[in-house]
Structure 1
Amino acid sequence: MSQEKIVQEYDIEKDALRPTSSTAEGAVPGDSFEYGNGLYAKLQRLAGKLNVEQRGIERVPEDERDDDSLLNVGTMWLSANMVISSFAIGVLAQSLFFLGFVDAILTCIFFNLIGVISVCYFSTFGPRFGLRQMVLSRFWFGWYGVKIIAVFNVLACIGWSSVNSIVGAQLIHAVNSDVPGFAGILIIAICTFLITVFGYKIVHAYEFYSWIPTFIVFLIILGTFAHSGAFVNIPMGAGVSELGSVLSFGSVVYGFATGWTSYAADYTVYQPRSQSRWKVFCAVWVGLMIPLLFTEFLGIAIMTATTINDGKNPYMEGYEAAGSGGLLAAVLLGPLGGFGKFCLVILALSIIANNCPNIYSVALTVQVFGKWTQRVPRFIWTALGTAVYIGIAIPGYTHFEAVLENFMNFIGYWLAIYEGIAFSDHLIYKRSMDAYNIADYDQPSKLPPSFAAVFAFCCGIVGMVTGMSQTWFVGPIALTAGEAPFGGDVGFELGFAFAFASYAAARYWELKFFGR
């Protein structure tokens, strides 16, 4: 189908692209990023020479959507989750929540199934519209309301990267105690930057293969641990204490699984419009569920060995010395020696695959803040995001376990509210993809005025606070879902419910008064 090319008027002084006419596709010619003699144009010309992706949050036109591989879709998430960070989530079941083996496994299955739904669903929007997730969010939150969401997403991307880097640095330290934590963090951060700076295609190319060596190492860990006979079938608990532990651990699991939601569409925007939504959904689902369950189950199983009280316990000693990295070192180094060290290094470097989506998407998210941030090329924001999370990860290295639990809960809380509003708008008011007038994605006057979304977000926070269970605060509803003084965490469930219901009501009146 032929389409009229969009006509662009370029302001050389500001290096800003201003569409003077539009098409159904809303395309921006690829070479338009290089027009002018300002700093922006010079940087984009340099990017073009180095084959660095120049496009930021501008819509990807159909004639540039040449990635039709569903394997690219699935392996993106397979590699990003077949990592030591996922293993560390499983470890928390016993170390923080004192769950048994079977109840921890069941909790993982149930809350992962819930958490991945939104990632799979919103991934299907990328091929249809060619817009990044935060830009798509303008149709639910409006031009101004989405900036609030963008702030949370930047914090999430930076936080994810910091936590992941700490896990990798722990592994490197477990292999060689002479390597300080900050050195491991720098190694991981620099390698991640070198991949993400080039953009979508290089990120996908790396993720296509990087899961393979990591999966092999995890199989070696599984076999070695099974041969050791150190597994302990910790019995399942009962009563309100067990209920509280399941809900709280479930909140952490959910936060990890759903954490990709706010940039789900970022990694399918170069898929053709004709790509099957059902196939994209299934590819993402398989790519998420297989690594999440496998690694978390393995973490749950190996952590049971720390409960052995028969004399010296190398598993507990390893865990106390270097967290999850030390626990894996206890599994591998004794039986496998030097080869075990090699395996640990592979796992440490697997963090790169987990950090790539975060650092690639944080740059796109920053560009949502305003026209001025969009005038800064994507790869510059990638560099700045890398510098920031290095500065957070290094001082946080010695407090990893507390950082991980609190951060996972933060992710689950705010994303549940985000999902409540997005699903409420899409399922109740838009109901189909045809209801989106995509040409309006960068037109503030044609997008929702943001009142309903901001109101619903505030209501979601109220639900979150009443249901949250943290060491520093326990909500009144959380107390009824577990044993005092910590109760059971139902913050993300209530945050979603409050946001969904309040948006459904407020959006009706917003449409009535504003008509958009």
Structure 2
Amino acid sequence: MPNAKPTKNSSFIRTWITRLTARDGEVYELRPEDNPRWYQKLLDAGVEENGIKPVPLEYRTNTHYSNLFTVFFTCLLNLLPIPTGLLATLSFGMSLRDASLVILFFAMLTCIPPAFMGIAGAKTGLRQLVQARYSFGKYLVTIPLLLNAATVTGFCLLSAIVGGQTLAALNPENVSVTVGIVVTCLVSFAVSLLGFRAVHMYERWSWIPNLISLVIAVGCGGHHLRNQVDAPPATAPQVLSYGCLIAGYFITFGGTSSDYSIYHDPRKVTKTKMFLLIYSGLLLPSVPLLILGAAIGGALPNTPSWSAAYALTGIGGVMRAMLSPAGGFGDFVLVLLALSVIGNIAMSTYSVSLNLQMLLPAFTRVPRPVFILATLAVMVPVAVQAAREWEESLINFLGLIGYWAGCFCAVVVVETVAFRRMDYATYEHAIWNVGRELPPGVAALGACLCSMALVVPGMAAPWYTGPIARRTGDVGFEMAFAVTAVCYLGLRWVEVRVRGRL
């Protein structure tokens, strides 16, 4: 039987698979002549084609550097920081003054690593976890890869729960939190499907209605915030334990920050400017909202309407109680507040899809939207379950992620500063997926494991408190970052001497 003539569709499928398969050292390049017309129209409209392949300098042409600020500013200018701040006064028993000081100090400190790491996206053209291969190696990087994917998905869960609670607060008798979670997720995933340009475009403007809605809510119900419960001065264990939660909230952006700068032109901007844009994008929206959450937590026991609403639909119920003087307009504002989490979920799922593409070589052939849909399928039922034990879920999540993120950031920062001397050209594109040329990763993983000897005794979680933490409070994050950095300096030096190269 003669060979069948290849059809246009089969030819495109073969071309698609070939282009998705990353050969050794292959980088991203534009090939519009190979694309069907309909596919090229999607790319021209802003749909991102590239996944995890390095972006060469000639394709790093974005000069809208303010995007580096707005993408993080909008991601965090929503309801999510409010329940995190609420824990300080409601769960940890701190006064509003002490909580505010802890929030400000730990936020200013722990925004530094992710802001510094975000510079590398523009300078190297590498996604954050691809850059991590130059420390952890091609294969051992799977461990931080899985942890980062779980962490970012966890933030999606928290955002979806907050959005779902807020939508449910509109009509608690007929709309459950579960329905609210599903609606919030579906709207959010539509943005993340399109990719880098769509995420940046959405984040560039959507902070405006978010900010207006939050100001209206505080203006309507803020007079109750002065009804703070009396609290004794904060103890060292309270300060360190809650500080660990704040660290977990911020430092985990170190696993994704360069994902949003890889198309920016590094030749027309200084490293200092990029750092300040990312740093302020993380810090400026979060600190006021975390403190607002602490103020709400302190006033909650003394405001019966807020307490009843919080028991029914969480922070969404409190926001509706605050907006109740505005009547029907308040309900409209509440919907805007519920949708404010879209920017956070869209940004997070974008990074998750990139992480999943790195897990196995075959996954490079899978289009990024497939992983976004898979994340949605997993996220919704988990979010529904986590919403049933909201406060405990939040404390457990923020506490635990700070430990591994401290280790990861320490390794990547020390690698860049101490061993590569801030020379981003040493992150050679030619070896980004060549296991034999990349470091084996033994030093990076070994340093992380060494730190666990002090992290575990120093951690304080609802389900476990180590012997050090019983006396000092949670110092797991501090141990993770400091011990990993020191151990990596020594172990990586030995690794470089043995290999004879970076």
* TM-score by shorter chain over 0.5: yes
Query: Is 1:265 aligned to 2:258, yes or no?
Result: yes
Determine the structure 2 residue equivalent to 1:402. Answer: 392
Contact 1:244 1:489 in 2 (8 A): yes
**Cα separation, partners in 2 of 1:474 and 1:34, compared to 1, 3 Å:** farther
- Structure 2 distance, partners of 1:227, 1:313, is 14
Amino acid aligned to 1:15: T
Amino acid aligned to 2:61: D
Amino acid aligned to 2:497: K
2:191 pairs with one of 189, 195, 200:
195
Contact 1:44 1:377 in 2 (8 A): no
Determine the structure 1 residue equivalent to 2:353. Answer: 363
- Structure 2 distance, partners of 1:147, 1:21, is 18
Determine the structure 1 residue equivalent to 2:446. Answer: 455
Amino acid aligned to 1:216: I
Contact 2:203 2:343 in 1 (8 A): yes
SS in 1 for 2:31: helix
Query: Is 1:387 aligned to 2:381, yes or no?
Result: no
1:211 pairs with one of 198, 201, 207:
207
**Cα separation, partners in 2 of 1:273 and 1:351, compared to 1, 3 Å:** same
- Structure 2 distance, partners of 1:174, 1:302, is 17
**Cα separation, partners in 2 of 1:28 and 1:257, compared to 1, 3 Å:** closer
**Cα separation, partners in 2 of 1:453 and 1:20, compared to 1, 3 Å:** closer
SS in 2 for 1:70: coil
Determine the structure 2 residue equivalent to 1:15. Answer: 18
- Structure 1 distance, partners of 2:33, 2:345, is 27
**Cα separation, partners in 2 of 1:505 and 1:42, compared to 1, 3 Å:** farther
Percent identity, aligned pairs only, is: 30
Q: After superposition, what is the alpha-carbon deviation per residue over 1:430-476, rounded to whole angstroms, capped at 9, x for unaligned?
A: 22224433432222111111111111121233332121001211112
1:246 pairs with one of 235, 239, 249:
239
Gaps of 5+ in 2: 1-12
- Structure 2 distance, partners of 1:468, 1:300, is 23
2:143 pairs with one of 139, 143, 148:
148
1:50 CA displacement: 7.0
Contact 1:81 1:354 in 2 (8 A): yes
Gaps of 5+ in 1: 1-9, 36-40, 482-487
**Cα separation, partners in 2 of 1:196 and 1:21, compared to 1, 3 Å:** closer
Query: Is 1:490 aligned to 2:475, yes or no?
Result: yes
Query: Is 1:429 aligned to 2:425, yes or no?
Result: no
4+ residue stretches of structure 1 with deviation over 4 A?
Answer: 10-14, 16-22, 32-35, 41-51
- Provide TM-score, normalisation by structure 2: 0.91
Q: After superposition, what is the alpha-carbon deviation per residue over 1:100-156, rounded to whole angstroms, capped at 9, x for unaligned?
A: 011000000011012211111011111111111010111111111211110101111
What is the correspondence of 1:434-445 to structure 2 with a 5 Å cutoff? Answer: 434-445=425-436
SS in 2 for 1:30: coil
- Provide TM-score, normalisation by structure 1: 0.89
1:338 pairs with one of 328, 353, 358:
328
Contact 2:110 2:247 in 1 (8 A): yes
Amino acid aligned to 1:117: I
- Structure 2 distance, partners of 1:149, 1:390, is 24
Determine the structure 1 residue equivalent to 2:30. Answer: 30
**Cα separation, partners in 2 of 1:464 and 1:34, compared to 1, 3 Å:** farther
Contact 2:402 2:477 in 1 (8 A): yes
- Structure 1 distance, partners of 2:496, 2:378, is 40
SS in 2 for 1:143: coil
- Structure 1 distance, partners of 2:225, 2:104, is 25
SS in 1 for 2:366: coil
- Aligned-residue RMSD, C-alpha: 2.4
Determine the structure 2 residue equivalent to 1:226. Answer: 222
What is the correspondence of 1:284-299 to structure 2 with a 5 Å cutoff? Answer: 284-299=278-293
SS in 1 for 2:206: helix
Contact 1:33 1:54 in 2 (8 A): no
**Cα separation, partners in 2 of 1:307 and 1:21, compared to 1, 3 Å:** closer
